[in-house]
């Protein structure tokens, strides 16, 4: 039965990670994977997480099943973090949340939920988008199409083309929008563009699906959720998928959440039964660890304050490197305009290099980035930034 299976291509980022690992060059630089690294190039466990884990060890008295919706206290914290603690949808019992294995789990549950609500729905994603978005929705049997988003010429948002595409999307379809820190381009919607997006969602009747994998990595926790909150004030239904991988540094613990905002509390009850039966048919119940850790942090004023501080450190370190890249490239005599880097947000920057330049960076300098020239800025630090800038300057010549 297995003999007829054909090998499938693996995600290029995994190949890149493997090649980086095997590269003996002591100066090698990994800008591929979207994981935060500190000045020492290390992805450390946050102190607030360490303390919450100690608390868990002390307090946990059972390993019984956690239930299909997961940790109810965690779910409420996630709703408050995303929507704000007194959002009208939360107060009116219109939100249904399930904690999921990572943001990926949230998206997969959302996909199966959409398939139940409207099997004919097309899910519209940005051009480009995180590659896994496409596979996740297709795996649930949904059609996936792209709407214009990033303009490779201007290195900004393809605003008019985007709104022209959105204006044609019919009711019953789903439009995926990145809440902040767009992966891969780093180009986010301005508040005015969120307003226009919201108006179109109302006029056309499509359902927004907001993917928020980087809350707190752009401008701040509330700032990064401003677009989502505006949208949630105006439309009657939406889907939110969130992740604690980046902002709590809990990557391998696989913790995220899916929230469905319904028109009213009666519909939210129906939504809940459907959402939970989707969960039941995929993995039955989520793993508890990450949710308990996040709950311990957000239940405690001190640990929450520590988390804000550690999150701000990560955000500020990445942001400070945006200007530094521009300055260091200029210092290497690069004349091209890289000012667009400071207009991008979050973990990534699209440098706009050609495939040949990216290949040369890898073979001649052991500088690793994905083929789109998306770089994970946290891979840079004071020990490698000059080497990186010199390498980029030489391939640009
Ligand atoms: N959405 C986007 C846009 C992402 O970039 C990622 C992580 N790369 C996810 C969702 C999923 O994150 P997680 O690791 O929590 O599954």
- The predicted pLDDT at position 33 comes to 87
Atom number of ligand 1 nearest to Cα 244: 15
For ligand 1, whether the C-beta of 188 sits within 6 Å is no
CA gap 153, 129 in Å, rounded:
17
Q: Quote the ligand 1 centre to 111 CA distance (angstroms).
A: 15
Position 146 confidence tier, pLDDT thresholds 50, 70, 90: very high
Nearest to 184 by CA among 135, 125, 227: 125
Nearest to 175 by CA among 198, 191, 156: 198
Q: Quote the ligand 1 centre to 95 CA distance (angstroms).
A: 22
Residues 173/124, Cβ–Cβ less than 8 Å: yes
**Distance between first and last Cα of the chain:** 54
Atom number of ligand 1 nearest to Cα 101: 16
Tokens linked to 49: 């997480």
- The predicted pLDDT at position 12 comes to 81
397: pLDDT strictly greater than 90? no
- The predicted pLDDT at position 11 comes to 80
CA gap 76, 55 in Å, rounded:
20
Mean pLDDT of 212-240: 98
For ligand 1, whether the C-beta of 245 sits within 6 Å is yes
Residues 322/345, Cβ–Cβ less than 8 Å: no
- Among 3-17, 252-266, 335-349, name the one with the lowest average pLDDT: 3-17
CB-based burial label for 25 (10 Å; 0-12, 13-18, 19+): exposed
Tokens linked to 197: 């997006």
For ligand 1, whether the C-beta of 243 sits within 6 Å is yes
Q: What would the DSSP string read from start to end of 263-275?
A: SSHHHHHHHHHHH
Q: What are phi and psi of 347, to 5 degrees?
A: -70, -25
CB-based burial label for 118 (10 Å; 0-12, 13-18, 19+): middle
Does the active-site annotation cover 130? yes
CA gap 284, 282 in Å, rounded:
6
Residues paired with residue 175 on neighbouring β-strands, in sequence order:
124, 208
Closest-CA residue, ligand 1 atom 2, reads 213
Mean pLDDT, all residues of the chain:
96
Q: Which of 102, 213, 256 to mutate to test the pocket of ligand 1 (most atoms within 8 A of CB)?
A: 213
Write out pLDDT tens, residues 84-100. 999 999 999 999 999 99
Looking up tokens 């001190």, which residue turns up? 302
- ipTM of the complex, rounded to two decimals: 0.99
Give the 3-state secondary structure percentages of the chain, helix then strand then coil, rounded to 5: 50, 15, 35
132: pLDDT strictly greater than 90? yes
């Amino acid at each position: 039965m297995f003999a007829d299976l054909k090998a499938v291509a693996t995600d290029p980022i995994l190949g890149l990670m493997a090649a980086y690992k095997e590269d003996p060059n002591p100066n090698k630089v990994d800008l591929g994977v979207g994981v935060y690294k500190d000045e020492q190039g290390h992805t450390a466990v946050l102190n607030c997480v360490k303390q919450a884990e100690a608390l868990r060890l002390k307090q946990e008295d059972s390993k019984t099943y956690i239930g299909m919706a997961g940790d109810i206290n965690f779910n409420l914290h996630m709703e408050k973090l995303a929507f704000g603690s007194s959002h009208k949808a939360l107060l009116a019992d219109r939100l249904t949340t399930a904690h999921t294995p990572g943001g990926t789990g949230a998206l997969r549950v959302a996909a199966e939920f959409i398939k139940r609500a409207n099997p004919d729905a097309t899910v519209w994603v940005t051009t480009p988008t995180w590659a896994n978005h496409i596979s996740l929705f297709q795996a649930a049997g949904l059609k996936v199409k792209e709407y214009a988003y990033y303009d490779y010429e201007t290195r900004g948002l393809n605003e008019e083309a985007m709104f022209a595409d959105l204006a044609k999307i019919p009711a019953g379809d789903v439009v995926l929008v990145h809440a902040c820190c767009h992966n891969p381009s780093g180009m986010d919607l301005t508040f005015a563009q969120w307003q226009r997006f919201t108006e179109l969602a109302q006029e056309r009747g499509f359902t927004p699906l907001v993917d928020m994998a980087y809350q707190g990595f752009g401008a701040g926790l509330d700032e990064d959720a401003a677009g989502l909150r505006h949208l949630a004030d105006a439309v009657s239904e939406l889907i939110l998928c969130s992740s604690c991988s980046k902002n709590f540094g809990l990557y391998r613990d696989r913790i995220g959440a899916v929230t469905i905002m319904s028109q009213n509390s009666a519909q939210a009850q129906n939504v809940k039964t459907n959402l939970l039966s989707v969960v039941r048919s995929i993995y039955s119940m989520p793993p508890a660890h990450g949710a308990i850790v996040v709950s311990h942090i957000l239940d405690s004023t001190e640990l929450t304050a520590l988390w804000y501080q550690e999150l701000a450190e990560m955000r500020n370190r990445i942001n400070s490197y945006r200007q530094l890249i521009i300055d260091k490239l200029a210092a290497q005599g690069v004349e091209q305009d890289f000012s667009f880097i400071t207009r991008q947000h979050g973990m990534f920057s699209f440098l706009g290099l050609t495939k040949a330049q990216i290949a040369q960076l890898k073979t001649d300098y052991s500088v690793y980035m994905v083929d789109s020239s998306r770089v994970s800025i946290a891979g840079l630090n004071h020990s490698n930034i000059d080497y990186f800038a010199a390498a980029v300057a030489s391939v640009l010549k």
